[in-house]
A and B are shown apart, each in its own frame.
Chain A
């Protein structure tokens, strides 16, 4: 019995090692959103320059939609942009945009003019009102909103053909079937 007691520290060390190994493997940047399965937060953003309608939570209803946080300053947004255009052209899913922290009023519209506008509606978000409402930490971030107006999934970083077909498309299909 007494002999076995000698192994207690070793066992404890083992438990700690497993615990730390799991913890170290996690990406501290990817935060689990507390908004999953919550109603879309109340927000109301003005239109970007040259557009007549902005974006508010009441626009996101009755169908599965994506809400994409982007900015003309954001390099990764440029990377995912052609894919968003593809979603629009092939009529796959409506994408709503939050134009986050543009250096000036014209930067966002200029960027969209140059590369194309994949968004159904866009809200201008110069002081992070919309971004904070969604608990955004960086761009791009994309939220899946279901028919009942609940946030169901948060994707951090650019959408690519690969993560779309592997992860995001199945989620979209699942939400549509509900």
Chain B
């Protein structure tokens, strides 16, 4: 029974599919590592919630090859990312950049949570004051 349970748990493990084709992999392991980390941060524009590193789409594959070509040609990591952004916009970055247009995106949730918390604190304080006053009145 226990083994069966464990087996079932194993079935639930996500199968990590490898989209990168062996033929795409660069000979230089350090360069390949840079290519992989860049690819993980770039959105596949065909299947929008996957990175190009995860996606099997042909355009994603071509983008992976392009990333590697540019690295081999001597581009820095930032230059490669900048090139892709100059073609597809900030949208291709899975981690949105920190700039004026995205301030709401970055701080919005924190501000909403804090204002909710403040509201709660105010509510309970007043509640307490009210019950205290009520207690006083009944004492008299």
Contact = CB atoms under 8 A, between A and B. Distances in A.
A133 B46 CA distance: 16
Contacts of A33: 89
Contact of A134 (B66, B84, B87): B87
Contacts, number: 44
A161 interface: no
A32 B89 CA distance: 8
A33 B85 CA distance: 11
B63 interface: yes
B87 A41 contact: yes
Interface of A is mostly: loop
A44 interface: no
Contacts of A101: 58, 62
Contacts of A9: 119
A127 B62 contact: yes
Contacts of B89: 31-34, 135
A28 B87 CA distance: 17
Interface of A: 9, 28-29, 31-35, 41, 101, 127-129, 131-135, 137-138
Interface of B: 45-46, 48, 58-59, 62-63, 65-66, 84-89, 91, 119
The 8 closest A-B pairs by CB, nearest first: A128-B62, A34-B89, A135-B87, A137-B45, A135-B88, A127-B62, A31-B91, A128-B59
